[in-house]
Structure formats: structure tokens, C-alpha cells
Amino acid sequence: MSKNELLDHPDFQARLLESLCAQPLEIRPSNSSVHLLRLAFAGHSHLNWVAFTNLSYEGVATALESEELRDANALSLCIDDLSGSPNALFDALSRSQTLSEACFLENPTQGSDDLTSRVFAQFCASPSASSLLKTKKMFFTCAYSAPLRKRLWLPSPNSYDELSSKLPVSAFPVQYMFVRQQFVSLGLTDIKFRPNYFFLGDALLTPERFVSGFLQYCRSVLTDRYLVSFAGCPSDLLFSKINYPGITISPILAQNLAVPGKCTVITGKSEISVDLWPMTGEIEKDGWVVLVSHEWYTDPEANSAPVPFIRYAFVRARQLIETAAVSDHLLQGIVGPDYVDIIGGVKGFLRETAPQVDTNLVDRPFNETLQILEKRWPTSLGPGMSYVSILDDSEALSILRDFIQDAVFVRENLRLAIQQNPEGISSLYPF
């Protein structure tokens, strides 16, 4: 009996699928097992193969390119016991014209996220990574589960000798957000700021997703200590045309949850409290940094409460910027036109990183953000001021200089905290 005759036979496919699901561990990394999966899932849009844990990556790749599975648009795998190299599967996904989503899952009883973290590192090292991230949804368990454990999951470049785990900045362009918060004061002189360093790489934010999350963040800048605004927002700007767009959940920023805000360390004979933030490492060539200045306006002629407002700018690195130890002389060059471009606002950022997106889609959510902030505060801002506006180039460069200069102290505070091995810090970074 031919393959088509089998598929046309009443109840054949349903019975085969039921039989395979009843004994999933019997499916082995063999040609016959792959052929059975092709017959059982022919015509299915979702290849839910999570139960078939004894497969090989090569067998899955072969199945995806078969005629029977040409209608599939999603693939789910439990990778705990998959054999072989995932590179074959990455290549097959990049060639597929129909598959738009792939999920690499670990059993929820696993005590760590090391396996999917390693597969993600292999994915980033593959030549298919940039194109896949731009055209398909790639889901890795570690990005969602590690933050809930307050653990880092993104492997450092030295984690595995044979791998490079640097994120493709073309897909996830924003690496850091540097936020300075003005201390609330009724005085008009002596303005002081507190620096806040945020690493955004492990949130896996596409350009559209970042802009959606950033506008959410602007609405909750007073309370969003861990940047959860970026984890729950509309998935893209097309949803801005819908009255009730709903949200799509993306990863919480793992490093920002894992690193406690303060820690007590001993220096000499003194015990001091130090601020801790995620470590600022390299800023990749063509990587982006977002500068945010959170300030307060006080009407000099009225006895009223201060009103918060935000100024921001997008900065793109023209070449690799090392932040570990920067001399004052080198710092002057780093914040100049040879090293960085000041792009300005969200529309300029989108034009550079996602030229296919209609930047006018930003207008509605941006205006809604302004309206929400305006209604929230009984006192108005001064003439010509806005609740959200763009920093001028010279001030943006000055703020960037301050943050890069202070990044050395952030690293030193982390080193002291890890060296003294307080609970919750010791295994974060490889000092």
C-alpha cells in the first residue's frame, strides 16, 4: 500500500498518531521513526513533538523538509535527550518557507537552564541566526525560566570554548539602557542624579518590541525597578491601531532580577553598603544604548509638588567599545563621532533598525503615553516642556560619558560583592 493510500485510509492517520503518542519513547533517531512521524503529522500546522524525546536533531531536520509536513508552521521540541547537533535543524529552519515558530523546551523538573542556554549559544554561533531571528519566532525555555530563578542564563563568550554566544545585534539591537534619576528636591540649584545600569540583551527585544516596551516603561518609570514593562506589551506596532491590543509575554530581564540593588561589603576595617547593577561589558559594533534622564520640574512661582518628565536618546556604537577600564583620554574619543552616533528618538531608531516598519505607527501609542502622564499629575509642566522628549546631542554625549566612566565602579562593586561571597551573588559573574 502506497503512502497516499495509507493517508487516505479511514482513521489510519488518527490511529497512528494515537499509537505514537501512547508510546513516545519508542520513537528512536532512525529513518523508520522519522517516516512514521511524517505520516502521523501530515497536514498538521503544529508539530508538537515535545513527547518524542529520543529523536535526533538531524532526524527532525530531515522530517521538516519532507512533502508531508509542508503545511506545518510551528515546531515544539523537548531537547533534554535529543542527540546530534542542532546546527542541522537551524539550517532546515532557515530554508523553510512555512515554519514561522520553533520552541526549544526543557523539562520543567530540570534544576537548571544550562541545556537550552547551551543550545541558544550554538544558535547564536550559527550562520543562520540573524536571518532566523528576523523572520521567525525562536523560543528558548532558559530565557523565561532563568529570570524566575533569579539566575543568569545568557552564556558569556568564554563559557564554551567552541562557541561564540554574542547576540546578533541586527536582531536584538539594544544592549543597555542607562537611566539617571534626579533626586527629588524643591531647590532649583544643586541638581543631582543617581545612575542606573540595565542590561537588555537577555530580554531578546526586536526593534518593534523594544519601542513598545519603552513607551510602556515611560508610563511607569517611577515604579518599574526591574523593567518588567518590556516583558508585557503589544508584540509589534501594528497592534497600536487596535483599541484593545492585548499583550504578548516576552522574557523578563534576567540580570536585572538576579543582581540585588544593594549589598554590604567590607573594605579595610569598614562595612559599607554599595549599589549593585548588572555589569556593563562591551558595547558591540552597531549595538545600541538608550540614555534616559528622569527629571523633576518644579514651578518656581507656585508652591506645588514636583512633576516628573523624561528625556531620552538612542546611541549607536560605530565600533566596539570596551568599558572595563577606560582612561580619561580614551573616554574623550569614545564619546565622539568616531565611536558613536546620536540618533535621537524612537522613530529614528526604527528607521535605522527596522526600515520595513511604518514609523507613523508610533504616533498613537506615543500620544497615548503623553496623555496618560498628563492626566496623572495635577501640576503642569513649564511652557514648551513635554513629559517625554529627546535629549540634544551634546547633553546625550555628556550623559554617556558619565555612565561609561562610572561603569568601572559598577564592576568593582560587583567584584567586591562576589569576592566576599554573600548569598545570591557568588555565582553571577566569572571574576
Rounded CA-CA distance 330/326 in Å is: 6
Could you tell me if 65 and 142 lie in one domain?
yes
Query: Could you read off the pLDDT of 74-124 as tens digits, one per residue?
Result: 999 999 989 999 999 999 999 999 999 999 999 888 778 889 999 999 999
Tell me the backbone φ, ψ of residue 36, rounded to 5 degrees: -65, -40
- The DSSP bridge pattern shows strands 270-275 and 307-317 to be unpaired
The total of structural domains in the chain comes to 2
Could you tell me if 26 and 140 lie in one domain?
yes
Could you tell me if 238 and 375 lie in one domain?
yes
Could you tell me if 279 and 214 lie in one domain?
yes
Last residue of a domain, one of 148, 164, 183: 148
Could you tell me if 216 and 107 lie in one domain?
no
Most confident option among 17-31, 261-275, 317-331, 342-356: 342-356
Could you tell me if 90 and 202 lie in one domain?
no
In a domain, 80, yes or no: yes
In a domain, 366, yes or no: yes
Could you tell me if 277 and 385 lie in one domain?
yes
- Residue 366 is part of which domain span? 174-419
Could you tell me if 67 and 14 lie in one domain?
yes
Could you tell me if 107 and 17 lie in one domain?
yes
Could you tell me if 298 and 357 lie in one domain?
yes
Nearest to 121 by CA among 13, 53, 202: 202
In a domain, 262, yes or no: yes
Q: What is the pLDDT of residue 7?
A: 52
Could you tell me if 233 and 358 lie in one domain?
yes
Could you tell me if 65 and 209 lie in one domain?
no
CB distance 69 to 43 below 8 Å = no
Amino acid (one-letter) located at 218: C
Please count the other Cβ atoms lying within 10 Å of the Cβ belonging to residue 163: 18
Mean per-residue pLDDT over the chain, rounded = 85
Range in 5-9, 39-43, 133-137 the model is least confident about: 5-9
CB distance 99 to 61 below 8 Å = no
Query: Could you read off the pLDDT of 316-349 as tens digits, one per residue?
Result: 999 988 887 677 777 777 888 888 999 989 999 9
